[in-house]
Structure 1
């Protein structure tokens, strides 16, 4: 069991260490972890990567959005007063819409007098409430004015449509309503403002 070496001192054969045990010992001894922390689970990592879709301070975000919308409205209103194309609302932008406005503003339209005339007929109807015959006459006259303004609007669109097709080709949907609605507004209250102060200045 024991043997003597040349120097005469007893010695024993050392046992070969198990590799698995050695690795475990190194791990227990505190081998340095590359990340310094255990690997998180997938659901934990996904939850950490999520960001809220709305800011934490909703009041501040709402106030900022409201302020931005107010500034945009101010720019659009000022542009409708001055005719600045850069800040006009989308419904009024573009050379075609500008041509429509200039054509309507150059023309004498019955629609622009409709509101004052209708108001006058309402006053007349109140005055002649006790007279059935006169009330019917006033009412029929008002219906006649309405019919004439509709005919005038049709004539307006026919002439304008020919010009638009000759100049721009296709006419976008909604252009007729855009022109007629402007024709039924009192000239001074139209927005964007007319580029010319007088009738008869036709667009080229």
Structure 2
């Protein structure tokens, strides 16, 4: 600013400053987007989605269809052994190895259900005639159950040794208590086992 501009009686020409301000104002509003910044209220309104669908019946039908498709995939996986759609308790190479080993052997537990039904029928037929004979029949049921449990424990010990050698002790123990998984499959008929057996008898896994 010159000395003359500082004097009070000298009027400064403000037209140049006004022109510079007019040309500088659009430069501030213009940015990389090429459009003005939207208001916060408008931006929030665009992000709001309806919680309840417009057509509830159609949404319910779609959810039911997805659920039915998932159940059908799991049902087929129970028959084919497809790891992708099996339940969480049956997934993984360790659980597959357990199933294959048990399905390859003959377990006494799988005969317990038919043997028990047979003895119960005999017990009902002879209970009214000979009390002592019916007592022996019931004793035979408990004895067979005890022997089948011992056979399942032997299977668990042999299978655990194989699993430790193949997968490592830490990995096997990370699966939780595999004893009940082995025990329940040993006491189930082969044709009723789920997932269904994928190996033949005596076809043990390596």
> Is TM more than 0.5 here?
yes
Q: Which runs of 5 or more structure 1 residues have no equivalent in the other structure?
A: 1-38
Query: By how many angstroms is 1:188 displaced?
Result: 1.7
Q: TM-score with structure 1 length normalisation?
A: 0.71
Judged with a 3 Å threshold, the aligned counterparts in structure 2 of structure 1 residues 179 and 54 are, in CA distance, closer, same or farther, namely farther
Q: Which residue of 2 aligns with 1:159?
A: 158
Task: Give me the whole-angstrom Cα distance separating, in 2, the residues matched to 1:174 and 1:92.
Answer: 13
Determine which of 186, 189, 203 is the counterpart of 1:186: 189
Determine which of 98, 101, 114 is the counterpart of 2:96: 98
Q: Which residue of 2 aligns with 1:175?
A: 178
Residues 174-202 of structure 1, C-alpha deviation per residue, up to 9 Å, x if partnerless? Answer: 322112111111112222221223x2111
Query: By how many angstroms is 1:89 displaced?
Result: 2.2
**Higher-Rg member (1/2):** 1
Task: Give me the whole-angstrom Cα distance separating, in 1, the residues matched to 2:47 and 2:199.
Answer: 60
Aligned length: 164
Q: TM-score with structure 2 length normalisation?
A: 0.70
Q: Which residue of 1 aligns with 2:51?
A: 53
- Map residues 189-200 of structure 1 onto 2, 5 A cutoff: 189-197=192-200, 199-200=201-202
- Map residues 15-164 of structure 1 onto 2, 5 A cutoff: 51-130=49-128, 131-164=130-163
Residues 3-41 of structure 1, C-alpha deviation per residue, up to 9 Å, x if partnerless? Answer: xxxxxxxxxxxxxxxxxxxxxxxxxxxxxxxxxxxx9xx
Task: Give me the whole-angstrom Cα distance separating, in 2, the residues matched to 1:103 and 1:48.
Answer: 58
Task: Give me the whole-angstrom Cα distance separating, in 1, the residues matched to 2:131 and 2:52.
Answer: 65
- Of Structure 1 and Structure 2, which has the larger fraction of its residues in helix? 2
Query: By how many angstroms is 1:50 displaced?
Result: 5.6
Task: Give me the whole-angstrom Cα distance separating, in 2, the residues matched to 1:178 and 1:54.
Answer: 43
Judged with a 3 Å threshold, the aligned counterparts in structure 2 of structure 1 residues 80 and 49 are, in CA distance, closer, same or farther, namely closer
Query: By how many angstroms is 1:52 displaced?
Result: 4.5
Task: Give me the whole-angstrom Cα distance separating, in 1, the residues matched to 2:184 and 2:54.
Answer: 45
Aligned CA-pair RMSD: 2.5
Task: Give me the whole-angstrom Cα distance separating, in 2, the residues matched to 1:120 and 1:70.
Answer: 39
Query: By how many angstroms is 1:149 displaced?
Result: 1.1
Judged with a 3 Å threshold, the aligned counterparts in structure 2 of structure 1 residues 49 and 159 are, in CA distance, closer, same or farther, namely same
Instruction: Give the 3-state SS of the residue equivalent to 2:204 in structure 1.
Output: coil
Name which of structure 1's ranges 95-104 and 54-63 shifts more when overlaid on structure 2: 54-63
